[in-house]
Amino acid sequence: MKKLNRIIPLVAASALMLTACSSTTTSEEKKTETKPAATASAPATQTPEGAKDIVDGEEVDLATNTRAQDPDKFPAAPTPPRYVDEHPAPKEVPPHGEELVMLAKKMQEKNPESKEGLYNILKQSGVADYTDEDILWAVNNLGVDWNEVACDAAIAYQKLMPHSQRELFEILYSQPASFTVDEARYAVKNAKIDWNQVALEWAKHIKEGKPEMSDEELYNFLVQVGGPEYSPEQAKWAVEHLNQ
């Protein structure tokens, strides 16, 4: 009985020591437990004002996604060589040369065409038995100013659908219009076209399809690269006069 009385306190003491050790270990584990590092979200990047880049040889304002609208600097994509430039007209008047000149002039009065465009129409129409020499001689001897013809064509295209200067330039030098790059550039600079009014027509067209578009959104669309690319002045005028 005396031995049992001695053992009980020893067991109790041992249990207390184990409990204490366990508590200490748990406490130490909590202290040394590593917490996962908080991941900081990257701040939203904003293009600094004035940042520029070169796209297709032109300087683009990255903050506004716009570029200068100077027709003299519009880049021209490569186009196939024009047939009329690679095949000179015969020096001697061919059998039907004079007759074909009269026909070509009448055609030009209805629809102004480039030299290449007129050649293609005459060639494909199969009018009478005109030879290639007849047609080449005729389109080279119309006695017209092809720059002015390009201006007339530019106005005709605008009547079909409003285009910005850049859009119209690309239409004029590309197929099937096929004016030269210089003729197309001359036309968008000198044709009697009210570009503010053209921008307004475009703005109305866009607004009809998206009436919820704000004035700011509409302005940004009109000037941005990849859009119509009107000048900032033209786009501003269009938005201001949209509801007048």
pLDDT digit string (tens) for 183-223?
A: 999 999 999 999 999 999 999 999 999 999 999 999 999 99
pLDDT band for 127, please (50, 70, 90 cuts).
low
Look at residue 235 and tell me if it is in a domain: yes
How far apart CA 52 and CA 127 sit, in angstroms, is: 54
Residue 34, pLDDT above cutoff 70: no
Burial of 130 (0-12, 13-18, 19+ CB in 10 A): buried
pLDDT at 161: 93
Look at residue 179 and tell me if it is in a domain: no
Mean pLDDT of the chain: 82
Q: What percent of the chain has pLDDT over 90?
A: 65
Residue 136, pLDDT above cutoff 60: yes
pLDDT band for 66, please (50, 70, 90 cuts).
confident
Is 98 within 8 Å of 60 (Cβ atoms)? no
Look at residue 62 and tell me if it is in a domain: no
If one compares 46 and 14, the residue with the highest pLDDT of the two is 46
Is 185 within 8 Å of 71 (Cβ atoms)? yes
Residue 171, pLDDT above cutoff 90: yes
How far apart CA 81 and CA 158 sit, in angstroms, is: 26
18: CB partners within 8 A, 6+ apart: none
CATH (domain of 202): 1.10.10.10
Look at residue 69 and tell me if it is in a domain: no
pLDDT at 58: 77
- Give the number of other CB atoms < 10 A from CB of residue 83: 16
Structural domain total, the chain: 1
pLDDT at 69: 83
Residue 13, pLDDT above cutoff 60: no
Look at residue 122 and tell me if it is in a domain: no
pLDDT band for 86, please (50, 70, 90 cuts).
very high
pLDDT at 60: 79
Q: What domain range is 228 assigned to?
A: 194-244
Segment 42-69 shows an average pLDDT of 70
Look at residue 35 and tell me if it is in a domain: no
Residue 165, pLDDT above cutoff 50: yes
Look at residue 103 and tell me if it is in a domain: no
Segments of the chain assigned E as strands: 52-55, 58-61, 66-67
Look at residue 218 and tell me if it is in a domain: yes
DSSP state of 80: P
